Amino acid sequence: MRVAFIGLGDIGSLMASHLARDPFSLAVWNRTASKARDFAAKHSARVAASAAEAAHRAEVVVMCLPSSAEVEAVLHGEQGLLHALEPGSVLLDCTSGDPATSRSIAAELSGRGVSFIDAPVSGGTTAAKSGSLTVMWGGDESDFQRVRPVVEAFGKKIVHAGPVGAGDALKAVNNALLAVHILSTGEGLAILVKAGVDPTTALEVINASSGRSNTSENLIPQRVLTRAFPRTFRLALLDKDIGIAEALATELGMQTPVLSLAAKRLHQARSILGEEVDHVEAVRMIETENGVVIK
């Protein structure tokens, strides 16, 4: 199966690594060409000079870019990906995108005989490395059957969310919950540290009680208490995701004040801490505001 992979970022490169073997014949393209060359030095893949060249004769084109805006830019940009997609091929967009843009891309592609599936992933770089991501996809079942082997190469739990855009919606809400957990657990632990409770003791209780979450069980112990803060998922991307969830709620005429406040705080953290820090570093903003260190 001829596959093109576009976007070898923190998670994209790990997903693509599972496609660099039989039965796939893989072509890769990345905006920063050195990353594609480094990838091909380690894996069996052809480095394409452009997104269009990668897609030439590909049956499946996988994209994993920051947001739907970059997906559109690559489709319509000078690279001319749109014109290079083969009729009968499928664009599998693993970007955590926004539902409205995905629907508009799907409509545009369908006029060219190309199918579109939004297929955002969760599980982070650890699951991407082991090929056990959760994949939530939106689109037609018959289109999905054609890309199933590709999705199964990096995914373990594979769930049909609904029509095109439903995968994006589900992903955005999941990540909005992640943002709320990071902010609320960070604030809770900051209170406890200031009140004189050791954060390890606090987590021992919280993680045996109803306040627990993946944030309290894994992220805070492994990344905050240790002060390691590894970069696996940029805060800027989480800010983008909660923004998608908020926009969706607005579009649906809903009242979601908790989500809106969390979105505002994440946006603030992004402007203070910058584009390159990891998402868990949002806790640093809470620490600074309150003069405490959770360690």
Interface with ligand NDP by CB under 6 A: which residues?
7-12, 30-32, 35, 64-67, 70, 73-74, 95-96, 121-122, 124-125, 232-234, 237
176 CB burial (10 A radius; 0-12, 13-18, 19+): buried
Q: Which is nearer to ligand NDP, 3 or 74 (CB)?
A: 74
Q: How far is the CB of 260 from ligand NDP (least distance, A)?
A: 20
Task: Return the residue nearest ligand NDP (CB atom).
Answer: 9
Q: How far is the CB of 157 from ligand NDP (least distance, A)?
A: 14
Beta strands in the chain (DSSP E): 2-6, 25-29, 46-47, 60-63, 90-93, 115-118, 121-122, 133-138, 155-162
Q: How far is the CB of 90 from ligand NDP (least distance, A)?
A: 18
Which among 35, 171, 194, 264 is annotated as catalytic? 171
> Which position has the token pair 């990668």?
54
Please confirm, yes or no, whether 35 is among the known catalytic residues: no
How far apart CA 281 and CA 278 sit, in angstroms, is 6
How far apart CA 120 and CA 166 sit, in angstroms, is 10
Q: Which is nearer to ligand NDP, 66 or 221 (CB)?
A: 66
Among 36, 58, 35, 60, which residue's Cα sits nearest to residue 47?
Answer: 36
Q: How far is the CB of 204 from ligand NDP (least distance, A)?
A: 27
Q: Which is nearer to ligand NDP, 65 or 286 (CB)?
A: 65
Instruction: Enumerate residues 6+ apart whose C-beta is below 8 A from 155.
Output: 121, 131, 132, 133, 134, 135
Catalytic residue numbers read: 171
